[in-house]
């Protein structure tokens, strides 16, 4: 079975608190991003895992952990897995979570488990907060730890480009900085107003209508080299004509929003020339008419 796990961006991300167990709560709008990995899963006499990224070969890879979860609950047999990365990792784009989501779906189909999306999302929570959103595969607002999802209709095409510095950012370090007073939590009423404004804008036809509502709390606690890389990415995107840029999740990728597909294609060519060596430029495929499922 062959699947093409996709990425995501957070068009908004507000940190809303911290639970007694240490997990942070958020209010975020997930947007499926048509960048893809390739995942091939086949029954096998023993587990085999191959990937194009040597750093991802360890047992902590979310694809392996997804199989282990299903094996514990349903005693599924071994599989041979081939993972080819197209989505940059340590980027905040949910690449690993998307791979885990696809692995859960593949095993459910291969072994006729008949798992519903709701059940897969429940299982996926144990693998990471973004896994249910990648299983959802449609625009959604996430609350709680990001796993309490509410879908919404959205017909807008967002002309986005993504740039990725060579280094990743530490999510744990940014949450620590937030807890130590580096961030400021907005009132619930203000967040609700902004989130509703974003969702309304996404149901329209003008990409620029979403600009006032794009927000990521992680940007407020970036420091040192991470801050410098983020500012460099933002400057490069602005110089290429982006109307707005935003950190992707916890980074280190940054996306730029453009006024039109024509503007995006022009920016694509200029960024190919302007990006420093070892930086990545990622161009999502064009997709439209996203609807809640």
Torsion angle, CA of 221/227/233/236, rounded to 10 degrees? 120
Percent of the chain at pLDDT exceeding 90: 83
What's the distance, CA 108 to chain centroid?
Answer: 23
Global confidence as pTM: 0.92
Q: Is 130 a catalytic residue?
A: yes
Give residue 112's domain range. Answer: 2-149
Q: Are residues 123 and 181 in the same domain?
A: no
Q: Are residues 16 and 143 in the same domain?
A: yes
Annotated active-site residue in 130, 137, 217, 226 = 130
Residue that is written with structure tokens 């902004």 in the block: 194
**Could you tell me if residue 276 is inside a domain?**
yes
Q: Are residues 144 and 257 in the same domain?
A: no
User: Using CA atoms, how far apart are residues 5 and 41, in angstroms rounded to an integer?
Assistant: 12
Q: Are residues 57 and 138 in the same domain?
A: yes
**Could you tell me if residue 289 is inside a domain?**
no
**Could you tell me if residue 110 is inside a domain?**
yes
Residues 63-112 have pLDDT tens digits of 999 999 999 999 999 999 999 999 998 899 999 999 999 999 999 999 99
Q: Are residues 134 and 42 in the same domain?
A: yes
DSSP letter string, 216-263: EGGGGG--HHHHHHHHHHHHHHHHTT-SEEEE-TTSS-EEEE-SSHHH
**Could you tell me if residue 202 is inside a domain?**
yes
Annotated active-site residue in 8, 27, 137, 217 = 8
Q: In what order do the strands lie in the sheet with 160-164?
A: 244-247, 254-257, 160-164, 280-282
Instruction: Look at residue 183 and tell me whether its pLDDT is greater than 80.
Output: no
Evaluate whether 214 touches 53 at the Cβ level (below 8 Å): no
Q: Which H or E element spans position 13?
A: strand 6-18
Q: Is 123 helix (H, G, I), strand (E, B) or coil?
A: helix
Q: Are residues 229 and 171 in the same domain?
A: yes
DSSP letter string, 152-184: --B-----EEEEE-SS---HHHHHHHIIIIIS-
Domain termination residue (choose one: 149, 184, 203):
149
Q: Which H or E element spans position 135?
A: helix 131-136
**Taking Cα atoms as reference points, which of 133, 139, 79 lies closest to residue 106?**
79
Domain termination residue (choose one: 101, 128, 149):
149
Q: Are residues 7 and 143 in the same domain?
A: yes
**Could you tell me if residue 288 is inside a domain?**
no
Q: Are residues 21 and 62 in the same domain?
A: yes
Predicted local confidence at residue 118, as pLDDT: 93
Q: Are residues 95 and 58 in the same domain?
A: yes
Q: Are residues 132 and 179 in the same domain?
A: no
Q: Are residues 17 and 134 in the same domain?
A: yes
**Could you tell me if residue 290 is inside a domain?**
no
Instruction: Look at residue 288 and tell me whether its pLDDT is greater than 80.
Output: no
Residues 7-22 have pLDDT tens digits of 999 999 999 999 999 8
We report the CATH number of the domain holding residue 25 as 3.30.230.10
We report the CATH number of the domain holding residue 259 as 3.30.70.890
The dihedral built from the CA positions of residue 14, 133, 206 and 233, taken in this order, carries a sign that is positive
How many structural domains does the chain have?
Answer: 2
Rg from Cα positions in the chain: 19
Residues 154-170 have pLDDT tens digits of 988 999 999 999 999 98
């Amino acid at each position: 079975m062959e699947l093409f796990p996709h990425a995501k961006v957070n068009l908004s991300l507000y940190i809303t608190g911290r639970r007694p167990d240490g997990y942070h709560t958020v209010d975020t709008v997930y947007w499926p991003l048509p960048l893809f990995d390739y995942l091939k899963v086949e029954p096998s006499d023993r587990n085999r895992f191959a990937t194009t990224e040597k750093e991802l070969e360890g047992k902590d890879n979310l694809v392996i952990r997804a199989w282990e979860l299903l094996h514990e609950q349903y005693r599924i047999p071994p599989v041979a897995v081939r993972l080819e990365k197209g989505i940059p990792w340590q980027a905040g784009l949910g690449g690993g979570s998307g791979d885990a989501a696809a692995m859960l779906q593949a095993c459910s189909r291969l072994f006729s488990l008949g798992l519903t999306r709701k059940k897969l999302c429940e299982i996926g929570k144990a693998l990471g907060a973004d896994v249910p959103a990648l299983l959802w595969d449609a625009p959604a607002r996430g609350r709680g730890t990001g796993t309490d999802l509410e879908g919404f209709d959205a017909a807008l095409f967002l002309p986005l480009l993504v740039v990725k510095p060579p280094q990743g950012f530490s999510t744990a370090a940014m949450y620590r900085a937030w807890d130590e007073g580096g961030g400021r939590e907005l009132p619930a009423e203000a967040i609700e107003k902004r989130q509703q404004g974003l969702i309304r804008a996404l149901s329209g036809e003008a990409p620029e209508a979403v600009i006032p509502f794009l927000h990521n709390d992680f940007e407020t606690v970036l420091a040192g080299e991470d801050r410098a890389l983020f500012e460099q990415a933002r400057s490069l995107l602005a110089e290429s004509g982006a109307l707005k840029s935003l950190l992707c999740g916890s980074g280190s990728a940054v996306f730029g929003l453009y006024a039109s597909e024509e503007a995006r294609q022009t920016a694509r060519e200029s960024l190919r020339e302007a990006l420093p060596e070892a930086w990545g430029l990622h161009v999502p495929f064009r997709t439209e008419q996203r609807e809640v499922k």
